[in-house]
Amino acid sequence: MAAPGPVHEALAALPLVDHHCHGAVTADLTAGQFASLLTEGAAWPGVSPFDTPAGVAVRRHCAPLLDLPRHAPPADYAARRAELGWREVNRRFLAAAGAEVFCVDTGFAPHPLTTPAELGAAAGATACEVVRLERVAEAVVARGVEAGEYAAVFRAAAEEAVRRPGVVAVKSVAAYRTGFALDPGRPTDTEVTRAARHWAARGGRLADPVLVRHLLWTAVDLGLPLQLHTGFGDADLRLHHADPALLTDWLRLTAGTVPVLLLHCWPYHRQAAYLAAVFEHVYLDVGLALHHTGPARCRAVLEEALEVTPFRKLLYSSDAYGVAEFHHLGALCFRRGLAGLLQDRVDADELSLADALRIADWTGRGNARRLYGPPVSEPDGLSMSEAARDPGGRPTRKV
Amino acid sequence: MAAPGPVHEALAALPLVDHHCHGAVTADLTAGQFASLLTEGAAWPGVSPFDTPAGVAVRRHCAPLLDLPRHAPPADYAARRAELGWREVNRRFLAAAGAEVFCVDTGFAPHPLTTPAELGAAAGATACEVVRLERVAEAVVARGVEAGEYAAVFRAAAEEAVRRPGVVAVKSVAAYRTGFALDPGRPTDTEVTRAARHWAARGGRLADPVLVRHLLWTAVDLGLPLQLHTGFGDADLRLHHADPALLTDWLRLTAGTVPVLLLHCWPYHRQAAYLAAVFEHVYLDVGLALHHTGPARCRAVLEEALEVTPFRKLLYSSDAYGVAEFHHLGALCFRRGLAGLLQDRVDADELSLADALRIADWTGRGNARRLYGPPVSEPDGLSMSEAARDPGGRPTRKV
Amino acid sequence: MAAPGPVHEALAALPLVDHHCHGAVTADLTAGQFASLLTEGAAWPGVSPFDTPAGVAVRRHCAPLLDLPRHAPPADYAARRAELGWREVNRRFLAAAGAEVFCVDTGFAPHPLTTPAELGAAAGATACEVVRLERVAEAVVARGVEAGEYAAVFRAAAEEAVRRPGVVAVKSVAAYRTGFALDPGRPTDTEVTRAARHWAARGGRLADPVLVRHLLWTAVDLGLPLQLHTGFGDADLRLHHADPALLTDWLRLTAGTVPVLLLHCWPYHRQAAYLAAVFEHVYLDVGLALHHTGPARCRAVLEEALEVTPFRKLLYSSDAYGVAEFHHLGALCFRRGLAGLLQDRVDADELSLADALRIADWTGRGNARRLYGPPVSEPDGLSMSEAARDPGGRPTRKV
């Protein structure tokens, strides 16, 4: 199906680093359960989640991997999926993704999900872990902590979490909790203690602006690349509070520290591209938007994201959650969309073929390797987690 | 002129539901008066309103319906329009729109305009009415009301207005008055009384934030679909306050109540699409932007609007006002833009033809029918207004 | 390389008015110095500024003017540039730009730059000057001024600055200093005096919100067209504060005064287009974004910018700074991008050829001439600066 040309061929064959995704469900799903995982919304009476760009793309591009015809009806799709069983379904799609490394956010699991190791095994790939810091903080408070000890205990817990083998990055969902229109400065100990006291009294998830700021600054102290949810997500979000441009003051203060990876970004991917163009430590991807906009539009989103982004600053992620279809579809959309735009530029003599192939390799794999370290599968290489703690290994890290 | 293919043919023949428009002027217009109605701005010395994408589209696509050559000069166009007279001009363009139903906002009429019945008669279509709630509230205050009675009297007036035959929806222009960065909660009786007292003392139009909130919540109580102006409009707007993402908290509070239809949306149509993807009761259109961006760009706007929008959530509207050219041009732009993008996806085997035809029918007509009920012209059907009050008839209504 | 067709030919031959640019460096640059001028960011270890859309475009479209092959390696490019010397390099690129007039912002010069006269001489073109008002205000304070005299002294200095021969416009970088979310009203004398006292005591650049407002209103009093930085820029910016929609209230208050030219605008060019469509005195360009997005994407940006912009309201600028490559590349991107979109519309019979040629001439030159007056090179014409002070000469000026 792919248009011919050497860039298409190169990207079709490139082992990707999916630098941000989640696990796949480890249970057989009813048709309704499966459909509800196709959407960032929910299952609504009378509105099938298949009747979306993502649903259409699943029927077109995933059905054949389940031995069904293209554009198979939703009922056939769900039935065949159940027939094959979750292990076989996961295996087929994860292998089809063609990734050499998956970096798995383990901090969001309302469904039973594959561990990183299980995901890697099913895919025949290396799997690394991304630690979601809100979950670490919430576990600290759930176990009980004196307000005055919160900062130290959270930091120790985070340090312990990132020492686990295979951890390559941390992540924050501050976008969901307070949004980015925050005081950018590091809060004082007194402020943190007071806020921790209120949180402990009130309970619930981490949503205090002081503690969210404190979490972001703790992330900087940890020294690992920091992934930030921005833009597109589910109904729990205020989209306009997740515009990464709102992070500008904080990015100015954190210049020279850890790499900051803006995830998803759509529909603020041009704002993210500006940030990546002017701040050395800022990177972006358009994960989630790839499979949700589908093969018909992912190229357009990539074109906008690449308008001013330095080619060293764009990464690939699927942000797939739950259904392994999305680990595959994200990769497929990325390969096709990027290949289409690069090949057209080569054909118009706007870009040399050598440059196009370099950009494909960088964005598909090289930029992530550079940030996170070489995959553990490379002989004699540092493990990704060891490399990630070695500032010397990555020119963009200064502390 | 249309590119060949079955999707183009289907959309060219589809009777549309134009779910939000205004009347056409019932007077002969001077060349200057006509030109000034071509723009959301005003007539400026030395800058012809014809020298816009919409003006170019009128000369290209409307001139032939007045027996003029394509790209006719503005002076010829205005002269021929005057020669034919407003009744004939309206008849030609309204019939050419090919709509089976027009839902007419009757609350904005600085010019003498067709009533819904007159519009429908000229078009050979059914016309329904959309009640603009700000106008109802302003009439209540203009008649004189005790501040403490404002809420009850406004509600009674709104209930009476929507009981009129043919009323299928209510509309708010809160975007123009305060914008959407409002406290999302329902105001208390005390707050409403105090605000009504201030308004009565101060006079002018409804622009008090408490009363705008109260109007939105009254709309919810009425139980009819609620149309909200968002995005693009005239100079009376603060565009960034009309970003529908600002409605998120209010949408969260109103989940499970009435359908909320985000009108126009451009340039925030991606934000609107996100809301439609995650909130069951949210729908969108890109009316107004269709004829103002014209055939050269309406497809691009539709493509962006459809990136993540469930196919059950996009509707067609023209938002035409004053000149019947725009009732026609909106329909033409919608048909061509949508057909172009769907046909290309079919040709690329990204979408089955059956799915493309279904999406065309849904967005052009079916989604509106589902929300507003079947048109009154259908034999043995509920009238649109009856259906609109029957929650059972629409799976998206929960109260 | 350009696609054939009469619109391409017309735009390729059209003498442009580059209504906003900066000088070119008057010194030989090391490879590193040159590379750092290719980016709105900075030179970062391990990330070549050539590895950007702009860098790729320089290697593709500028290398041949230095007698190098297309897509020449960065090292070859920098070496050849040094070999030719800055005078020859500037001469080649500035002449290749094909502009008849450059309007040069002389208020930002961290490098040694050509004066407007030197730029014009190297290009074989007329050069005019744009006075950056923040620089005038800062010079006033640097020389020492009583707080109570600040307003009068600044105004006198600005009036003197714009009386210099060849000055055609003023400019503000308020977007960088406070952003546009300002109280739109003219500050009182008392407010200005108090703010001037604080500024004198605190030192530094002009960043006080009262004084920035005062500067904008002083600009209105000067009577010349006012250029405003909006959108895209360097790391000193908060991008979201530079959304021109934030200027709405101020634009409403200044209607009927001086032309306001929104510069750059990306990624808020649709917002700028809305403002240009509804406010008589508002104009826009997409300078800076042209060469930074490059030939592969500048057309897309232009298409979005033109979606609703009246054709009398779009201007051309390069916003080139430092390297004359960008004076050339901006012009090349504008010519190709605009020709591509217009020619396609002509080919699709959406636009007549005569209209397309008129739009090309207006946006490339005519709109700027109309605003700033005819270039001094025209026999018997007013000089641009004289014309600029004659309200009768420009129908868009009312005071």
Digit-by-digit pLDDT tens for chain B (399 residues) are 445 799 999 999 999 999 999 999 999 999 999 999 999 888 788 889 999 999 999 999 999 999 999 999 999 999 999 999 999 999 999 999 999 999 999 999 899 999 999 999 999 999 999 999 999 999 999 999 999 999 999 999 999 999 999 999 999 999 999 999 999 999 999 999 999 999 999 999 999 999 999 999 999 999 999 999 999 999 999 999 999 999 999 999 999 999 999 999 999 999 999 999 999 999 999 999 999 999 999 999 999 999 999 999 999 999 999 999 999 999 999 999 999 999 999 999 999 999 999 999 999 999 999 999 854 334 333 334 433 333 333 333 322
| pLDDT at residue B43, as a whole number | 78
| pLDDT at residue A374, as a whole number | 54
Residues of C in contact with A270 (CB under 8 A): 266-267
Q: What's the pLDDT band for A394 if we cut at 50, 70, 90?
A: very low
| pLDDT at residue A384, as a whole number | 40
| pLDDT at residue B374, as a whole number | 55
Whether C292 sits inside 8 A of A278 (CB atoms) is no
Best residue of C265, C278, C363, C369 to probe chain B, by most B CBs closer than 10 Å: C278
What digits encode the pLDDT tens for the residues A93-137? 999 999 999 999 999 989 999 999 999 999 999 999 999 999 999
Residue of B nearest to A3 (CA): B348
Residue A397 reports pLDDT greater than 90: no
What digits encode the pLDDT tens for the residues C204-243? 999 999 999 999 999 999 999 999 999 999 999 999 999 9
Whether A41 sits inside 8 A of B280 (CB atoms) is yes
| pLDDT at residue B45, as a whole number | 85
Q: Which of C243, C304, C312 sits opposite B51 (nearest CB)?
A: C312
Best residue of A50, A58, A240, A304 to probe chain B, by most B CBs closer than 10 Å: A240
C349 has a chain B CB within 8 A of its CB: yes
Find chains touching chain A: ≥3 CB pairs under 8 Å.
B, C
Q: Average per-residue pLDDT in chain C?
A: 92
Whether A396 sits inside 8 A of C47 (CB atoms) is yes
Distance CA C12, CA A309 (A): 28
> What residues 262-291 of chain B have any CB closer than 8 A to a CB of chain A?
270-271, 274-275, 277-280
pLDDT > 90 fraction of chain A, expressed in percent and rounded: 90
Q: Which of C278, C312, C345 sits opposite B47 (nearest CB)?
A: C312
End-to-end CA distance of chain B: 46
Whether C240 sits inside 8 A of A246 (CB atoms) is yes
Average pLDDT over residues C26-52: 92
| pLDDT at residue A73, as a whole number | 97
Best residue of A304, A307, A341, A367 to probe chain C, by most C CBs closer than 10 Å: A307
C306 has a chain B CB within 8 A of its CB: yes
Q: Which of C40, C71, C296 sits opposite A277 (nearest CB)?
A: C40
ipTM entry: 0.94
Query: Between A42 and B289, where is the model more confident?
Result: B289
Give the gap in angstroms from C-alpha A330 to the nearest C-alpha of chain C.
24
| pLDDT at residue C374, as a whole number | 54
Size of interface A-B (CB pairs under 8 A): 100
Q: Which of A245, A307, A313 sits opposite C297 (nearest CB)?
A: A307
Best residue of C250, C304, C308 to probe chain B, by most B CBs closer than 10 Å: C308
Distance CA C67, CA A369 (A): 37
Best residue of B278, B299, B304, B362 to probe chain A, by most A CBs closer than 10 Å: B278
What digits encode the pLDDT tens for the residues A232-260? 999 999 999 999 999 999 999 999 999 99
| pLDDT at residue C47, as a whole number | 87
| pLDDT at residue C92, as a whole number | 98
Which of A269-273, B200-204, C392-396 is predicted with the least confidence, judged by mean pLDDT? C392-396
| pLDDT at residue A212, as a whole number | 98
Give the gap in angstroms from C-alpha B397 to the nearest C-alpha of chain A.
10
Give the gap in angstroms from C-alpha C43 to the nearest C-alpha of chain A.
9
| pLDDT at residue C119, as a whole number | 98
B360 has a chain A CB within 8 A of its CB: no
C51 has a chain A CB within 8 A of its CB: yes
| pLDDT at residue A102, as a whole number | 97
Residue of B nearest to C309 (CA): B52
Find chains touching chain B: ≥3 CB pairs under 8 Å.
A, C
Q: Which of B45, B47, B293 sits opposite C307 (nearest CB)?
A: B293
Q: Which of C245, C341, C351 sits opposite B240 (nearest CB)?
A: C245
Q: Can you read off the two tokens belonging to residue A47? A: 């509105």
B69 has a chain C CB within 8 A of its CB: no
SS (H, E, C) chain C: CCCCCHHHHHHHHCCEEEEEECCEECCCCCHHHHHHCCCCCCCECCECCCCCHHHHHHHHHHHHHHCCCCCCCHHHHHHHHHHHCHHHHHHHHHHHHCEEEEEEECCCCCCCECCHHHHHHHHCCEEEEEEEHHHHHHHHHHHCCCHHHHHHHHHHHHHHHHHCCCEEEEEECHHHHCCCCCCCCCCCHHHHHHHHHHHHHHCCCCCCHHHHHHHHHHHHHHCCCEEEEECCCCCCCCHHHHCHHHHHHHHHHCCCCCCEEEEECCCCHHHHHHHHHHCCCEEECCCCHHHHHCCCCHHHHHHHHCCCCCCCCECCCCCCCECHHHHHHHHHHHHHHHHHHHHHHHHCCCCCHHHHHHHHHHHHHHHHHHHHCCCCCCCCCCCHHHHHCCHHHCCCCCC
Q: Which of C243, C350, C370 sits opposite B296 (nearest CB)?
A: C350
Q: Which of B252, B278, B351 sits opposite A41 (nearest CB)?
A: B278
